[in-house]
Structure 1
Amino acid sequence: MIFLLGGVVVGGAAVILAILADQAQSLFARLIAQWPYASLVVTPLGMGVAAWMTRRFFPNSQGSGIPQAIAARHLQNQAARGRLVSIRIAIGKILLTLFGLLCGASIGREGPTVQVGASIMFAIGGLSLRRQKGLILAGASAGIAAAFNTPLAGIIFGIEEMSRAFEVQATGLMIGGIVVAGLTSVMFLGDYTYFGTTSVALHGIEGWMALPVCAVTGGLTGGLFSRILIIFGKGLPGTIGRAIKRHPVWFAVICGLLAATAGIASGNTVFGTGYSQVRGVMDYGRSLPQSFSILKFAATTLASISGVPGGIFSPSLAVGAGIGFNLGSLFTSVPMNALILLGMVSYFTGVVQAPITAVVIVAEMTNDHAMVLPLMVAAAIAYGASRLVCPEGVYHALARNFIAASHAGETHGQARSLTAGDQSH
């Protein structure tokens, strides 16, 4: 009953976040349509406010939230887990993610849904300590399944990324939560495919020549993105690092200003999740600026290191789609949608270093079974290329920071208790 109820709530939260995220992006699009340079004011101020609210009211809700969910599974202390996944954090995550999209930040809603799902399951689990690790895993996996309407990807994500192992005891909870959350999402949003339905295939010598080029480019670029996030997550050394630590809100404002500049340079195409731009190319044959992939990469990087809540799933898929679109000028006989799918899988694999998850997500969200084998090959190559730049997946590297911070907090608390005890004697 716990995980069935949790699945319903997670699915409902994913639906609410999806609907409101679309509305937030629509409002921002209407604003910049009326005033093309509004982003130079709204985006930096909005990201500054989001960074301040995160630190002041919802600590540990920054970024995508997936590292926090991973860290919560590794921690044994109940209070330490509660500081990373809780109803308070879930509420803050939803509100601040929507606020970021309203201000034009290049963030996604799918990663936040993972932390929201983990928080909901953790709270519903209550004092059922024996099952809490499984409930956090189930909630996180259900979040992915409901956000993308990709149940298989939810299962693979739980095994490959969240736990990095097949846990027999948690499998029932995970599948049950995914099924219920997915049914709840389908009930309100319909049985849809995230990027529509494609039927392209990779044929001929040029198609198979394009595959390794796309895979290596996407893998290296994705690894570079992860490396930047890990470096900033640990904290830059020297004067610059100390300045960022002392003035995090002003750093977020600067990131917002640079992201707004990138947005204007792209013709206002790199704000938000990037979903509408990719869908426009794949379903309606629209064009993207040749600079889209580079500027989307820059805008997403700036949003991710700024400290505001927001995911990297959708923006990463958009960057990968841009890479595939760019390669279309080199491989003119290859179907554009095939290059875009290869680009999405390659870059996404490079970022998260979870190749099976990347393949299943893209295959499910496009319903293109003919591309499964090429996507697998591309993911394998991209994974190897990414590890040349970044030896470890970004989520687990960032999760270690939260685990270390929790252990440091416990040690500090014990030291204070000992000091107080000495003084009382």
Structure 2
Amino acid sequence: MKLKLSTRHQRLVKITSARWQRRAIFLLGGVVVGAAAVMLAQLADLAQQAFAMLLSKSRYASLLVTPVGFGLSALLTARLFPNAQGSGIPQAIAARHLTVQQARERLVSIRIAVGKIVLTLFGLLCGASIGREGPTVQVGASIMFAIGRVSPRRQPGLILAGAAAGVAAAFNTPLAGIVFGIEEMSRAFETRTSSLIIAAVIAAGLTSLAVMGNYDYFGTSAVTLGRGIDWLAIPACGVVGGLMGGLFSRFVITVARGLPGVAGQAIRRHAVPFAALCGLAVALCGLVSGDTVYGTGYTQVKAALENGAPLPGDFGLLKFLATALAAISGIPGGIFSPSLAVGAGLGSNVASFFHGAPLAAIMLLGMVSYFAGVVQAPITAFVIVTEMTGEHTMVVPLMTAALIAYGTSRLVCEEGIYHALAKGFIERSTPPTEAARAPARL
């Protein structure tokens, strides 16, 4: 009897220990991801400030610095940090679908995380129209994956948790982090890991709050749609944002899959000169815009929302071009913040047709519409915009605009950009013998 009780006790202790170990891994990972996100955010601000100082000395310095920086970043990515190019979210999605650990490690690892951080900062230092939030997702997934590998037992949901924690910490939007994990990363809700994923998001969010304090990413703007005619801005922004977002995604996906003929062969053979050429085009966009389309676009949009001042009429289009050029160049960098900036510019353009309407409200509609059109994740779009601005009176209009944009975007591009690009990483990383197996999720 004593032996039987002792055996049961040992089994209970073993089960309890395993559960607490699993929880500790997710919580520790969330803290580390939060710290990494804060570090990247602060360094990104410094990088953009340094580039702005350069432009204050000579506006035309970008004609040299930006193309050289693009070319060097593309070279370093190809030679030292392969699979660190672009946003990083497609790599995290692909890693969850691969069955071989070595294949996953080529997409999410500490080496990749370091390269992603360094080269994203380098891109911002050179004036690239990129964001840090997408890279934070790949960094978060890489950190969680690395922590999981030192665990004696396999821990499901780590990559998903790391990605969600990355979004939460990067934008100070915990709810958006959870929704992003469900809608975009997994396209399903995994109940057995849901509480652990939420725990990781909370840990990352608390770490961000402890270091940077509570804040709204794009400030606060107490606005709402007033007159009945103002509500026509919802379908207008939804259609315009969805159409432009779909065009952006289709263009980037087409180039990523390889253009046909001589043009496609030239890009593949001369990737570094192509990146430099893209950088030169971005610099020209910057000069035409009055130096407003470099970097994330955060400063311009935040000021416009808080002051109720319209963005320049060509801001949306030029930011669209600069972001598209950076996305196809092959350098590391995200499209989250630049997409929101493009949407704000488009919203400002739409607002010019609604005299007397609240400008900030229509800019928010443009932001959510364009972002939903690009990523084709309407729930994530309106949740993240709502949390970033602290504007809860606009929830219903934002939801409606996001759904209209999603439907419009689908007419132009059949699949969201992240999942379409993830297929390329999966195909390149999956041996033929593994392709027929059921996908593993981590």
TM above 0.5, one fold?
Answer: yes
**What is residue 77 of structure 1 aligned with on the other side?**
100
Shift of 1:278: 0.0
**What is residue 378 of structure 1 aligned with on the other side?**
401
For 2:99 and 2:171, locate their aligned partners in 1 and report how far apart those are by CA, in whole Å.
Answer: 30
Task: Indicate conservation of the 8 Å contact 1:121/1:136, yes or no.
Answer: yes
**What is residue 140 of structure 1 aligned with on the other side?**
163
* 2:75 aligned to which of 33, 52, 72: 52
**What is residue 61 of structure 2 aligned with on the other side?**
38
- Find the residue that maps to 1:370 and give its secondary structure: coil
For 2:82 and 2:135, locate their aligned partners in 1 and report how far apart those are by CA, in whole Å.
Answer: 14
Shift of 1:329: 1.3
**What is residue 363 of structure 1 aligned with on the other side?**
386
In the alignment, does 2:315 pair up with 1:292? yes
Task: Indicate conservation of the 8 Å contact 2:230/2:354, yes or no.
Answer: yes
**What is residue 421 of structure 1 aligned with on the other side?**
none
**What is residue 227 of structure 2 aligned with on the other side?**
204
Q: What pairs up with 1:264-279 in 2 under 5 angstroms?
A: 264-279=287-302
* 1:93 aligned to which of 94, 111, 116: 116
Deviations 1:285-328 (A, max 9, x none): 34422100000000000000000000000000000000011112
**What is residue 285 of structure 2 aligned with on the other side?**
262
Task: Indicate conservation of the 8 Å contact 1:206/1:333, yes or no.
Answer: no
Task: Indicate conservation of the 8 Å contact 2:133/2:337, yes or no.
Answer: yes
* 2:371 aligned to which of 348, 353, 374: 348
Partner AA of 2:196 in structure 1: L
Structure 2 unaligned regions, length at least 5:
1-23, 435-442
For 1:389 and 1:130, locate their aligned partners in 2 and report how far apart those are by CA, in whole Å.
Answer: 44
- Find the residue that maps to 2:215 and give its secondary structure: coil
Q: TM-score by structure 1 length?
A: 0.95
CA distance 1:100–1:239, shift in 2 (3 Å): same
Partner AA of 2:384 in structure 1: I
Q: What pairs up with 1:240-255 in 2 under 5 angstroms?
A: 240-255=263-278
Query: 14-23 or 165-174, which moves further after superposition?
Result: 165-174
**What is residue 126 of structure 1 aligned with on the other side?**
149
Return the index of the structure with the highest Cα Rg.
Answer: 2
Query: 270-279 or 205-214, which moves further after superposition?
Result: 205-214
**What is residue 21 of structure 2 aligned with on the other side?**
none
- Find the residue that maps to 1:363 and give its secondary structure: helix
Shift of 1:211: 1.0
Q: What pairs up with 1:169-184 in 2 under 5 angstroms?
A: 169-184=192-207
Structure 1 unaligned regions, length at least 5:
412-425
Query: 29-38 or 144-153, which moves further after superposition?
Result: 29-38
The runs of at least 4 aligned residues of structure 1 exceeding 3 Å deviation read 127-133, 408-411
Task: Indicate conservation of the 8 Å contact 1:122/1:132, yes or no.
Answer: no
Identity %: 66
For 2:311 and 2:217, locate their aligned partners in 1 and report how far apart those are by CA, in whole Å.
Answer: 19
Shift of 1:332: 1.4
For 1:287 and 1:204, locate their aligned partners in 2 and report how far apart those are by CA, in whole Å.
Answer: 20
Task: Indicate conservation of the 8 Å contact 1:215/1:346, yes or no.
Answer: yes
**What is residue 237 of structure 1 aligned with on the other side?**
260
CA RMSD of superposed structures (Å): 1.4
- Find the residue that maps to 2:338 and give its secondary structure: helix
Partner AA of 2:222 in structure 1: S
Shift of 1:215: 0.7
For 2:305 and 2:401, locate their aligned partners in 1 and report how far apart those are by CA, in whole Å.
Answer: 19
Query: 354-363 or 169-178, which moves further after superposition?
Result: 169-178
Partner AA of 1:165 in structure 2: A
Partner AA of 2:55 in structure 1: I
For 2:372 and 2:165, locate their aligned partners in 1 and report how far apart those are by CA, in whole Å.
Answer: 20
Task: Indicate conservation of the 8 Å contact 1:226/1:394, yes or no.
Answer: yes
Give the count of matched residue pairs.
412
Q: TM-score by structure 2 length?
A: 0.91
